[in-house]
Each structure stands twice: as structure tokens, then as C-alpha cells.
Amino acid sequence: MKQAKFWVWLFVLTLAALVSWRAGVRDFAREAVYPYENAKVWLDRTLGVRVKAVFSRVNHASRNAMLERDVARLRVLAAETEALEAEVARLRSVLDFTPAVECRWVAAPVLSRGGTVAVWQSLRVAKGSLHGVRKGDPVVVPDGVVGRISDVSPHTSEVMLITDPNSRISCELEMPGAEAGVVRGILYGGGTRPAAEPQLKLLYVIEPLRLRYLERDFEPPPRTRIVTSGLGQIFPNGLAVGYLLESRIEPNGLSREAEVMPAADIAAVEEVFILSLQRGPHAR
């Protein structure tokens, strides 16, 4: 009996040591590869851009004029935003509202992509814990939500995309003035499936995202905008996620399920923005 317990404990300790060793090796390997990945991105964005500019004969005068117009427009928008921020702060003070959680945007170039053949379910970006990034931080582009941070090392981070089957996001339908009120659901990653017709270049196609547990008797119109609901304390409210394609009652008959097209073109993402929440010292 004692000998059997000895072998059981020996097996448990060996398994724990292997798990810890594997996690350490994984972080070490990511950090070891980071300088080479970062160098490749730097070369593409410096030398590559300059070479392309020389051979493409860009009309710099017209481009500069366009950029000057954009800068002027952004200055006007910035002035309007400052006025709105002042008004919001005044109303929060009058109504004694709890101030919003402070956050900052961290820009990060994409180093590499991973996942299944021809369809990426994760990204590796060139910002990590040394830049204030933490596990669970939302990742977005100007068009909408891309995913969230799933793993962090000192200089790099792994991003779980919203197309990953393991992704879950609390969302709601953006319908101003709708009589149905607030309609919320849980957005599931679609994953991949075999293509209906064999193709030479693309072995898999992306399934639409699935928005589940919607109100059963309310049928939302196609192209309805889907945004984050703010529930779950990960994604703030109002971030664009996608657009509704069609909906149907689930087989159990208790709720409605909808197919959603992502708002962001994830396959074309080259740089992302990480929403780094300014949490307290005891967070996580």
C-alpha cells in the first residue's frame, strides 16, 4: 500500500514539473524569436515602404494636400470632443456618477499569425507586459473588435481572435428608438469548416460569428450593427463587433440565434490597438 502511494505521488510531482517546465520553455522561445520578428516588421515598414514609394512615383503634392485637409478636419473634431468631454464631466459631477475606468491605447504591430491552415485564429503582436499589456485586455482596430489578449510575455502578446471557437463576448444590438428595448446576446467565434466546393488556394473558409440567446420573439433586421454590451468587465460598452446577417429560432425553441459578419477585416490586420485598462495595484 505504501509503495503504491509512493508511485502515485511520484507521478503527480513529475507531471507538475513537466507542466511548469513547458510553460517556461514556451515563454523563453517566444522571447528568443521576438528580435527576429521585430526586425522583419521594421524592415518592411522602413526600407520596404521607401522602396515602394520610389518605384510607385506617388504624387506627393496631392497627397500632402489631402493630409492637410485631414489634419484640419481632425482639429475641428478634437475641439468638439474636448467640449463634449467637459460637458460629460460636468454632468457626472452633478449626477454623482462613478467615473469611468481609466484606460490607454497601446499600438502594436502584428508579428505573426497562427491557427489553422489558411484561416488564422490568433495573432502575435510586438507589445507585452513591459508595455503595460495584461491578459484579457481588448484588442481592436478602427473598424471594430479583433479579439483579446490570451497570453503575455515581456515583449510580445498572443491575441485570441473573435473568430476563434473559444471566443465569447457579451454583445447587444444597436437599434436606436427600437420598441424591443435592449436586446443582448453572447457572441461565439464561428471557427472553420470545410469549403463546400474544393478550391486550390483556400482549404477552409471562415464561418460567420454566432450571436446566441437573443429574444425569441423579436426578429432583428439584417445589417443591424452589433456592439459590445460592457458586461463581463473585459470589453467596454459600444465597441463595434459586426453586422447581423440573418437570425433564426434555435432548435430548443427558447431563444433566437443570429449569424454575424465581423466589422473588422481580420485577415488584413497589420497593426492593432490594445485597450490597456488602468487597474488598481491589486487587480488580477
3-class DSSP state of 88: helix
Asked if 230 and 236 touch (Cβ cutoff 8 Å), the reply is yes
Q: Which of 36-50, 145-159, 173-187, 204-218 has the lowest mean pLDDT?
A: 36-50
**Paired residues of 194 in beta bridges:** 204
For the record, the C-alpha cell of 61 comes out as 503634392
Q: How far apart are CA 255 and CA 259, in angstroms?
A: 14
3-class DSSP state of 18: helix
> Which tens digit of pLDDT belongs to each residue from 38-53?
777 777 777 776 766 6
Asked if 189 and 165 touch (Cβ cutoff 8 Å), the reply is yes
Q: How far apart are CA 140 and CA 272, in angstroms?
A: 6
For the record, the C-alpha cell of 101 comes out as 475606468
Residue 208 or residue 84, greater confidence: 84
On the CB side of 231, how many CA atoms lie within 13 Å of its CA?
A: 11
pLDDT, averaged across the chain: 79
> Which tens digit of pLDDT belongs to each residue from 213-257?
998 888 888 999 999 998 877 888 889 999 999 999 988 888 999
Q: What is the pLDDT of residue 18?
A: 61
Asked if 115 and 123 touch (Cβ cutoff 8 Å), the reply is no
Q: How far apart are CA 256 and CA 250, in angstroms?
A: 5
**What confidence tier does 55 reach under pLDDT thresholds 50, 70, 90?**
low
For 257, other C-beta atoms within 10 Å of its C-beta total: 17
3-class DSSP state of 180: coil
pTM for the whole structure: 0.65
pLDDT at 113 over 60: yes
State what percent of residues in the chain have pLDDT above 70.
71
Q: How far apart are CA 222 and CA 6, in angstroms?
A: 63
- Compute the average pLDDT of residues 173-185: 76
Q: What is the pLDDT of residue 280?
A: 45
Q: What are phi and psi of 67, to 5 degrees?
A: -65, -35
pLDDT at 140 over 90: yes
Q: How far apart are CA 222 and CA 3, in angstroms?
A: 67
For the record, the C-alpha cell of 64 comes out as 500632402
Q: How far apart are CA 218 and CA 184, in angstroms?
A: 11
Q: What is the pLDDT of residue 202?
A: 40
